[in-house]
A and B are shown apart, each in its own frame.
Chain A
Amino acid sequence: MYWLKKLLGVFATLLLVSMLTFTALYLIPGDPAVLILGTEAEHQDIELVRSQLGLDRPVAVQYFSWLAGVLKGDFGNSITFSKGYSVSQLVASAIPVTVPLAVAAMILSLLLAVPLGMLAASRKGSRLDSLILTLSQTGLSVPAFWLGILAIQFFAVRLGWFPPGSMPKWSDDPAGAASSLLLPALVLALPRAAILTRIVRTAMLETLGEEYIRTARGKGVSEWSIVTRHALRNALVSISTVAGIQLIQLLAGAIVIEQVFSLPGLGRLILSSVLLRDLPVVQGAVFAGAALILAVNFLLDSVYPLIDPRIRGVA
């Protein structure tokens, strides 16, 4: 029953997202036919192209025929951005870019934030603590796109360690694809790591102040063991909640970073198709993005009981 409710919620959200996207695209000026024909368009050409694309039908009819297709698993075809490609093809080729990028950024930010946050918490008030806090404040204030441009200048142009943009196919050159993702993942990870460091520090401080930690100390358990085995485990609940929200923000942040690094991901697909008013592609890509975010939420909900036995009874 619980899962059924959850699932219904997911479908309702997806339906709402698709309706909002559709409406938004109709409200902004710029018709796909106008974009296809450009500055050389005559009015009768626009009418011809509109009818060829089925854009002369009432908006509601267009939406429901799209929805009927989706229910059959058909997301339609691109109309302006890269004609002849199906939306599923375009989305399917973008996901292996965006998902590894977001996951790699998540892992990198955890790898940075958890040790730094723990270190800061265990040395609260020390010079090291204030250094870490200052670094995190800096990381928070730097916009990701600017960091991206700087990183490209330094690591790609000056040092030549990474390509400055674009990405080969995974199937053609897996090592090259991975190295193309590393720098953008790092750029995406840094501001996230900055926030997470603070969360880890606060969560650890709270836990370290609890009675059972004092008991453990009294028993003579080493400080290292207290921090890593006793406190961290308890702090994980709040850390994973924030990490989940961060992962969702990472997917959103990928839109900007994919543009800066010319990566063929979901964010760039959404941007290029919005600019060209490619309605089916925007619909499909936003739908896929929403589905990914819902999946993260869903996973997060299922992970809590594993971390915290107290939650198990509730579900």
Chain B
Amino acid sequence: MRKALISLIIIILLAGCSTTPNTDELAVAIPTDPDNFHPHQSVAAATAEIAFNIFEGLVKAAPDGSIIPALATEWIISPDGRQYTFTLREGVKFHNGRELEADDVVYCLDRLRDPEISPKSRDYTDVESVKAEGNKVIITLSKPNAVFLALLTELGAAIYPREAEDQLTNKPIGTGPYLLEDWEPNNALTLTKFPDYWNPQLPKTDKVILKIIPEPSTMVNSLLTGHVDLIPRLEPDYLHQVENKPDLQIIDSPMNLVQLLAINNSVPPFDDIRVRQALNYAINREEIIQGAGWGKGTAIGSNLTPAMGPWYKDLTGMYPYNPEKAKELLAEAGYPQGFSATLHLPAPYPLHRNAGEIIADQLEDVGIKLKIEVIEWGTWLEQVNTNRDYQLTVVGFTGRIDPHTVLNRYQSQSGRNISYFNNPEYDMLLVRGLEETDLAARVEIYQQLQTILAEEASNVYIMDPSQIAVMSKKIQGWVNYPVYVLDLARLEKVK
């Protein structure tokens, strides 16, 4: 009996010792589980962010938003813009050990564009054929499509081995720097270094544990006590808890997210452009950036952010904060006393909720009384996003690297056009933007699209909120992208 007791104590002590942290390991806090790792099924930003480290496509996005080689080392576009010839990288291996073949690329891209199976097929309707020729893949389009290459950087166009088709949802097999070793829903994901990664320099760290922590305060406490090394996306409300800590560094960078007060243009009084313009004049963007974003964010004037580089047109000067002008416009539109309306706010997004409350306060100054209804995300998606049964809402639209996929939301027939924006010139320009192959001419078109959205006062575009990453000072290699990804491969902890 005593012997048993002693050995039990020894076992407990040993178990205690085994928890000494490994230095070549990083713990990262994320708020939710990924939904589904199958590249053709997953649409959640939370999944794309992690999958960026597991899967790769022919090309990928660089931190500056340009398109760089990944599984293809080079590509040639035919002069008529219809044929893309990709040369595959030699000796690339999948996580299951098999070598990448051109047939895998054909298989994945054919499945991706099959409208019977893939909800993402709509983006690829211009693809006529995908063919393998030795180590080359030739993709032929029915007409030139300027967005095509940018689409190939997205998770949907990831290349995976055919034989893994049925297991991808929770056991992804890709070619990326990390492989998914373990996923315990509601608790943690463990990524380990893929030793046969085609770039022997990466990844820098052997093991990354993504801890799923839904409460931002618990995230912060875990960082303060060293249980996690990095919070990639901190809610600005918690900024003060991590500022001025000697062991921590805070890196804020543009998120390329369009935060807006979306207006239902089809219902009175918002079908009157003067009312929408009045809203634009009555809202003080700087105050929202200070109040909701704690000063972290960049004001915007249309549905594109400065993170889009040359595509972006600064339209913030079109509606300077001017409550008097707003009152005049309201009076002109027949509302000298203002009116009442309902503002729906999505519960899980404190940034949008806080912005909405500030907006309600600002609009009250010009006589518009907003009734705030905070609704849970599932309800928001159904009521506001799908059924468009709303007047006003605050939300954020995720950025992509090509302006077309961001701005085509306002095409009059688009299912994503929650503002019911309807402008024939806009629709026509969108078609031209896709077919135009000259870069300068394309830039001109997309700047014009942004101008139309602003002139028509389609919505009130507020800001590109900053992504606030907080990490231990020992962490190096943090890279920010204009798309929603988390590049873990370059991160390392130095002593």
Contact = CB atoms under 8 A, between A and B. Distances in A.
A277 B38 CA distance: 19
Given A165-B218, A264-B187, A38 B43 contact: yes
Interface string A41-79: 111111011000000000000000000000000000010
Nearest to A46: B386
A43 B119 CA distance: 10
Contacts of B185: 78, 81-82, 85, 90, 93, 264, 269
15 contacts: A28-B379, A36-B44, A38-B45, A42-B414, A44-B122, A45-B122, A46-B386, A78-B185, A82-B35, A85-B185, A164-B218, A262-B213, A262-B215, A268-B186, A272-B32
Contacts of B170: 82-85
Given A93-B184, A173-B15, A175-B15, A277 B416 contact: no
Contact of B16 (A36, A44, A175): A175
A82 B33 CA distance: 7
Interface in B7-44: 12, 15-16, 18-19, 32-38, 41, 43-44
B31 to A, nearest CB: 10
Contact of A165 (B41, B213, B348, B386): B213
B378 A30 contact: yes
Contacts of A264: 184-187, 212
A41 B379 CA distance: 15
Interface of A: 28-31, 34-46, 48-49, 78, 80-85, 90, 93-94, 149, 152-153, 156-157, 160, 163-167, 169, 173-176, 259-262, 264, 268-269, 272, 275-277
A31 B225 contact: no
Contact of B19 (A36, A167, A173): A173
A249 B318 CA distance: 58
A84 B385 contact: no
B404 interface: no
B224 interface: yes
Nearest to B226: A160
A37 B377 CA distance: 12
B215 A156 contact: no
Closest 7 A-B residue pairs measured CB to CB?
A30-B378, A84-B170, A84-B169, A42-B415, A83-B36, A164-B221, A264-B187
A157 B224 contact: yes
Contact of B221 (A37, A43, A157, A176): A157
Contacts of A31: 378, 382, 386
Contacts of A46: 386
Interface residues of B, number: 57
A277 B378 contact: yes
Contacts of B215: 165, 259-260, 262
A84 B171 contact: yes
A18 B105 CA distance: 45
B416 to A, nearest CB: 6
Contacts of B227: 163-166
Given A81-B35, A175-B15, 10 more contacts: A30-B377, A34-B378, A37-B43, A40-B43, A40-B398, A46-B386, A80-B35, A83-B169, A85-B185, A259-B215
Contacts of B50: none
A30 B19 contact: no
Contact of B225 (A38, A81, A163, A261): A163
B12 A175 contact: yes
Contacts of A36: 35-36, 41, 43-44
B426 to A, nearest CB: 18
Nearest to B115: A48
A262 to B, nearest CB: 5
Nearest to B47: A83
A24 B25 CA distance: 43
A48 B19 CA distance: 47
A85 B35 CA distance: 11
A259 B41 CA distance: 28
Contact of A40 (B37, B187, B218, B416): B416
A152 B34 CA distance: 27
Contacts of B415: 41-45
Contacts of B339: none
B213 A166 contact: yes
Contacts of B188: 166
Interface in B192-219: 211-215, 217-218
Contact of A152 (B37, B218, B378): B218
Nearest to A172: B18
B15 A174 contact: yes
Nearest to A258: B186
Contacts of B43: 36-38, 40-41
A141 B35 CA distance: 39
A149 B381 contact: no
Given A30-B376, A164-B225, A165-B215, A82 B34 contact: yes
Question: Most chain-A CB neighbours within 10 Å: which of B18, B34, B115, B221?
Answer: B221
B397 interface: yes
B385 A169 contact: no
A34 B184 contact: no
Given A81-B33, A83-B41, A152-B221, A34 B15 contact: no
A46 B227 CA distance: 40
Given A83-B35, A173-B18, A164 B222 contact: yes
Given A84-B171, A164-B222, A37 B119 contact: yes
A165 B221 contact: yes
A39 B378 CA distance: 11
Given A37-B43, A83-B41, A48 B377 contact: no
Contacts of A268: 186, 214
Contacts of A164: 218, 221-222, 224-225, 227
Question: Most chain-B CB neighbours within 10 Å: which of A42, A80, A156, A165?
Answer: A165
B383 interface: yes
B395 interface: yes
Interface in B390-447: 395, 397-398, 414-416
B212 A45 contact: no
B408 to A, nearest CB: 11
B461 to A, nearest CB: 16
A34 B386 contact: yes
Contact of A35 (B167, B187, B378, B414): B378
B386 to A, nearest CB: 5
Contacts of B478: none
Contacts of A156: 221, 225
B481 interface: no
Interface in B93-131: 115, 119, 122
A29 B33 contact: no
A277 B35 CA distance: 12
Given A28-B378, A45-B119, A275-B378, A166 B211 contact: yes
Contacts of B348: 275
A35 to B, nearest CB: 5
